[in-house]
């Protein structure tokens, strides 16, 4: 098996991982960024980005491409679509094995494996993700100015985001699979008091359809079995969030009850020399800007760690 040695290995090539790569590379730290999928992470799924500071309007693909070019220009190696088969994070030298041919070793690791919004997993969802289907009101709400949208979910996030989306949308319909909400009472009351919000209860979406963009949803009433079709401009799905930490569950890294990585403000995990950044970390907000912040902090503290050894 081929062995490749670096000062820092970054696992994950989203906004957090790319930012870490930029800072590490520019500091002349030998760095490789490994990603199990396409470089860019959740950014790539966002068709338009209008709230990234200093950038008037861009796409997720364009922003991730710029970050990748920056990291490479500073000497950072980048490997996408790799298959992680083993992790050893204990000891002074950590290792990440890719397939059965290459093992990457370094005294410091940054875990930036990202996360994903829970999906409904119904026909059309993947096709219209970023083209009418969104999982982030803060990111995409203003693209639905004076449009009619559906919010899927019944927890605090769904109801609070539905209220927030009324700043843009002409009408918001909350669609929930139960006949009652799981949100706090004040969130329920606020949503019910908003004249722009309607409710479809005991129902779930069974299909998304459209052309270049989402145009219609088909949903089923779970009590009667009846199916309905509704023309719509957009759908926001808030049924929970998952950290991409499956590969870390037997690694010794401390995870919370939601399988998110527990870390300090310095992005330090419970294992010396292992840092984390981005959506896989236990935190309140998940935005490109917060991932960039995490990646910066993790990189700077990784540099301090290897320089102190």
Handedness of CA 166, 170, 174, 175 (dihedral sign): negative
* In a shared domain, residues 245 and 233: no
* In a shared domain, residues 219 and 257: no
Domain termination site, one of 195, 216, 237: 237
* In a shared domain, residues 245 and 109: yes
List phi, psi (to 5°) of 82.
-95, 160
CB 63 within 8 A of CB 57: no
* In a shared domain, residues 82 and 147: no
pLDDT in tens, 174-203: 999 999 999 999 999 999 999 999 999 999
pLDDT under 50: residue ranges of the chain:
none
* In a shared domain, residues 107 and 248: yes
Report the pLDDT value the prediction gives residue 51, as an integer from 0 to 100: 84
Domain termination site, one of 182, 206, 237: 237
Q: How far apart are CA 195 and CA 305, in angstroms?
A: 55
- Which helix (H) or strand (E) covers residue 203, if one does? strand 203-210
* In a shared domain, residues 130 and 215: yes
Q: Are strands 214-221 and 77-79 parallel, antiparallel or unpaired?
A: unpaired
CB 276 within 8 A of CB 111: yes
Take residue 118 and report the two structure tokens written for it. Answer: 């829970």
Residue ranges in the chain assigned as alpha helix (H): 15-26, 60-73, 125-128, 137-140, 156-165, 185-193, 288-307
How many percent of the chain have pLDDT more than 70? 99
Report the pLDDT value the prediction gives residue 47, as an integer from 0 to 100: 66
* In a shared domain, residues 163 and 14: no
Q: How far apart are CA 218 and CA 228, in angstroms?
A: 6
* In a shared domain, residues 226 and 277: no
- Long-range CB contacts (within 8 A, 24+) of 157-160: 157/238, 158/183, 158/238, 158/239, 159/183, 159/187, 159/188, 159/190, 159/191, 160/187, 160/190
Residue of 88, 68, 87 lying closest to 79 (CA atoms): 68
Q: Residue 308 CB: number of other CB atoms within 10 A? A: 6
Number of domains observed in the structure of the chain: 2
> DSSP E strands: which ranges in 22-122?
31-34, 77-79, 84-88, 94-98, 102-106, 108-111, 115-117
Report the pLDDT value the prediction gives residue 60, as an integer from 0 to 100: 85
Report the pLDDT value the prediction gives residue 309, as an integer from 0 to 100: 67
* In a shared domain, residues 129 and 214: yes
* In a shared domain, residues 35 and 55: yes
| CATH number of residue 71's parent domain | 3.50.50.60
Take residue 90 and report the two structure tokens written for it. Answer: 């204990």
- Which helix (H) or strand (E) covers residue 237, if one does? strand 234-237
Take residue 303 and report the two structure tokens written for it. Answer: 């540099």
Full domain range(s) for residue 200: 125-237
Report the pLDDT value the prediction gives residue 22, as an integer from 0 to 100: 98
* In a shared domain, residues 99 and 132: no
Residue of 160, 158, 159, 154 lying closest to 179 (CA atoms): 154
Domain termination site, one of 237, 256, 276: 237
* In a shared domain, residues 245 and 108: yes
């Amino acid at each position: 098996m081929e062995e490749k040695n670096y000062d820092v290995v970054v696992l994950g090539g989203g906004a957090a991982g790319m930012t870490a790569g930029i800072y590490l590379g520019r500091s002349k730290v030998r760095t490789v960024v490994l990603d199990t999928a396409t470089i860019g992470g959740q950014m790539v799924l966002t068709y338009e980005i209008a709230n990234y500071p200093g950038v008037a309007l861009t796409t997720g693909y364009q922003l991730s491409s710029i970050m990748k070019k920056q990291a490479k220009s500073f000497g950072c190696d980048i490997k996408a679509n790799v298959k992680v088969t083993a992790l050893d994070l204990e000891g002074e030298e950590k290792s990440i094995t890719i397939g059965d041919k290459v093992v990457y070793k370094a005294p410091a690791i940054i875990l930036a494996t990202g996360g994903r919004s829970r999906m409904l997993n119904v026909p059309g969802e993947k096709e219209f993700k970023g083209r009418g289907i969104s999982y982030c009101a803060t990111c995409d709400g203003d693209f639905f100015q004076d449009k009619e949208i559906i919010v899927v979910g019944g927890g605090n996030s769904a109801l609070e985001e539905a209220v927030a989306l009324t700043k843009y949308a002409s009408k918001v319909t909350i669609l929930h699979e139960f006949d009652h909400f799981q949100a706090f009472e004040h969130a329920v009351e606020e949503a019910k008091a908003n004249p722009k919000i309607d409710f479809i209860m005991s129902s779930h979406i069974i299909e998304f359809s459209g052309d270049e963009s989402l145009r219609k949803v088909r949903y089923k009433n779970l009590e009667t079995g009846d199916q309905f079709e509704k023309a719509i401009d957009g759908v926001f799905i808030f049924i929970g969030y998952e950290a991409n930490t499956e590969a870390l569950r037997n690694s010794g890294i401390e995870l919370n009850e939601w399988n998110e990585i527990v870390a300090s403000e310095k992005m330090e995990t419970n294992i010396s020399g292992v840092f984390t950044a981005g959506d896989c970390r236990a935190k309140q907000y998940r935005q490109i800007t917060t991932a960039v912040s995490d990646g910066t902090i993790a990189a700077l503290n990784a540099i301090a760690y290897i320089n102190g050894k």
